[in-house]
Amino acid sequence: MNAFKSNIYKYLGGTCQYLIPLYQRTYSWEREQCARLWNDIVNLHATHREGHFVGSIVRIDEDSAAGSTLAMIIDGQQRLTTLTLLLVALRDYAVAHTDCGVNPNKITDTLLLNQYESGDAKYKLLLTQSDRDALIKKIESAPIPDSLKSRVLDNYGYFSGQIGKGEISPSDLYDAVGKLQIVDIVLDRQYDDPQAIFESLNSTGMDLKDSDLIRNHLLMGLDSASQTNVYNNIWRPTELLFDYEHQSELLDNFFRDYLTMKLGRIPRKNEVYKEFRAYHKNCGMNIRNLCQDIYAFAKHYSDMHFVRSSDPVLKSLYEDMKAIRMEVAYPFLLKIHDDCDKGLITIDALREIVQLCVSYVLRRAVCDIPTNSLNKTFATMKNDINSDDYLNSIKAIFILLDSYKEFPNNERFLATFLSRDIYNMNRCRYILSRLENWDNKSVVSLENLTIEHIIPQNPNLSVDWVAALGNNWSEIQKKYLHTIGNLTLTAYNSEMSDSSFSEKLDMEGGFKESALRLNKYVVTQITWSEEQVKERAAQLGEIAKKAWPYPTLTENEFAPYAKQDEPTQQYALDSYDQINAYNRILFESLNIRIMNLGTFVKREFKKSYIAYKADSNFVSILLQKQRLLLGINMKFNEVIDPKGICKDMTELGNFASCDVQVPFESLDQLDDVMELIEQAFRKQDADE
């Protein structure tokens, strides 16, 4: 490895051509990074400093035609591309303003092009294929088609706008750019590992994403010809499945869900790349086949995320998924879609499974069941699928979920659906829209409609409304105002306002003119009070049961999956020989604090200890004569323990197979002990 001090004009002024290899991420600097660079340049001029360091550029020199050098950029493409865009913008300004003091031909001939080369070889900087065309068109001042999207174009526009503001004169800008200092680092192929260096480097302001590292890991493992082939035919089509604006973020989310689906567990957010490398090592697929597998699953993932399908039923279900933000089910549904592709299930079964997932998430939301464990529920669900009885086994899995994982049955769902505040749910509009269009062959567009309360929200109701609701009008209004029986959709919300029910029926655009099925019952009424709200709610509840169905199996279909009623030993606090008056006080004080962490915390009395779990155990308690011994489910080096009361059991093991052990000997320690327990509890949420 050799390092040289340089400036940007010296770096670009020779005959070297700089190539961004295929395994590099696309150009990703955004307005924030460009603005920071611009401000640094303006400040450099304003303070009359002789230079400003903008970072290093790491390259590997390749064999090339005589008289020129070809360099592969390992790190630094973001700043090199951004500076090139700034120079192109300055060149274009100088072309349009010939008296600005900058020679546009000098910029083009010395900093943008190698004059004596032809084809792609003439460009000083050649980006990856997704950005290459955009930069070349700007350098050549060629027309830009509307279909071409790239941050290259966005950031060129930013610099053009900044130059046009006149904050710094073009000639001063040209001089200031020339003072930008870099360190030119040239790697030695014989001694330096470019992949290891790539993984360890971050460009200023834009950390390497997991998808960048994964692309690098896969493509750098191929020879040059295979690398180009796989990139053009598999990897680039995979990237193009995802939205331009959020491509890196969505790809990172996809890879985490892809690994969750493959591994049956959720990788930690900061260990996705590490987990991917381990998966690649053990999966048995070569790089090409692995990339093809990634593409196949990315196609399903992006279809769900962007609501794309030629199947109208699936497309409608994807719309439901998007409306209720159901990304948590993606890993499981990736598996189901892939099995449908393989012929393990029919398209009808696929639709039914997706519908059950939608129902599961929606019913839990209506019943206000905490969602913190949903991702782990979906991550592990595939492990219990019976491939010989695919659909029924999934239905059985849903039916057997209990406690905080419960799939609310019709009785529980309806009881809550009819009485809860639906209006203030973030899924309210979706619920009303789905009730309107369920089993409707002519789907109604509800885009321009708003939510209407039939009984108005105004606490000072009119005389007509008070008369309609009766003596307890205030209590009735409060009880039913935001419930499903009192909510509908209309294009005339402001006109209806606090009008009486008869006025809402008969006014222009009123309920009697509404073609919505939601208002089918409403228009048959001559008054509106508690009785009507309850009756309409019951009718809508029957539709809701069908719109978000509960899984059903016959007795024979369910029999293979039913839990056997084997006699089990039941334990309680008094089952433990060690229980006494002193440690009972310790336990009861601690138990209250732990159970108050959340309604979904579950306590289990085991044979020798008591376990507390959210999704899995986060703390366990062993009773001893003069104290409680706690096993905390965290890595010892992850625990923040300012009082030093934790003991490292990593190599020794303890009663609950936990790495962290804590003695609880006095109520004076209660707050300190709870802080440690809460760390383990919060960690389960953070790992989702």
Asked if pLDDT for residue 568 goes beyond 70, the answer is no
Dihedral sign computed on CA atoms, order 430, 431, 432, 435: positive
Asked if pLDDT for residue 57 goes beyond 70, the answer is yes
Q: How far apart are alpha carbons 495 and 509 in whole angstroms?
A: 9
546-559 pLDDT, tens digit each: 999 999 999 999 99
497-544 pLDDT, tens digit each: 888 999 899 888 788 888 888 999 999 999 999 999 999 999 999 999
- Domain ranges for the chain: 2-206, 226-415, 436-547, 573-686
**8-state DSSP, 19:** E
For residue 489, give the H/E element and its range: strand 487-490
Under 8 Å between Cβ of 633 and 596: no
Q: How far apart are alpha carbons 143 and 147 in whole angstroms?
A: 12
Share of the chain above pLDDT 70, in %: 94
For residue 76, which amino acid is it?
G
Asked if pLDDT for residue 688 goes beyond 70, the answer is no
pLDDT at 272: 93
Under 8 Å between Cβ of 548 and 405: no
pLDDT at 206: 47
In the block, residue with structure tokens 């108050």 = 596
Prediction pTM value: 0.72
Our CA angle for 264, 349, 393, nearest 5°, is 50
pLDDT at 562: 87
Dihedrals phi, psi of 653, to nearest 5 degrees: 80, 155
In the block, residue with structure tokens 């035609």 = 65
Our CA angle for 297, 298, 299, nearest 5°, is 90
pLDDT at 60: 83
pLDDT at 203: 43
pLDDT at 205: 44
pLDDT at 564: 65
Give the mean model confidence (pLDDT) for residues 673-681. Answer: 92
Asked if pLDDT for residue 200 goes beyond 60, the answer is no
pLDDT at 55: 83
Q: How far apart are alpha carbons 509 and 460 in whole angstroms?
A: 25
294-305 pLDDT, tens digit each: 999 999 999 999
pLDDT at 249: 86
- Of 686 and 625, more confident: 625
- For 572-613, the three-class secondary structure string (H helix, E strand, C coil) is CHHHCCCCCHHHHHHHHHHHHHHHCCCCCCEEEECCCCEEEE
Under 8 Å between Cβ of 94 and 103: yes
State the pLDDT confidence band at 64, using cuts at 50, 70 and 90: low
100-157 pLDDT, tens digit each: 999 999 999 999 999 888 888 899 999 987 789 999 999 999 999 888 888 999 999 9
In the block, residue with structure tokens 């334990």 = 571
Q: Which residues contact 404 (CB under 8 A, 6 or more apart)?
A: 369, 370, 373, 600, 602, 614, 615
636-666 pLDDT, tens digit each: 888 999 999 999 988 877 777 888 999 999 9
* 573-686 CATH choice from 3.30.499, 3.90.1150, 1.10.1060, 3.40.1000: 3.90.1150
Coil/strand/helix, residue 50:
coil
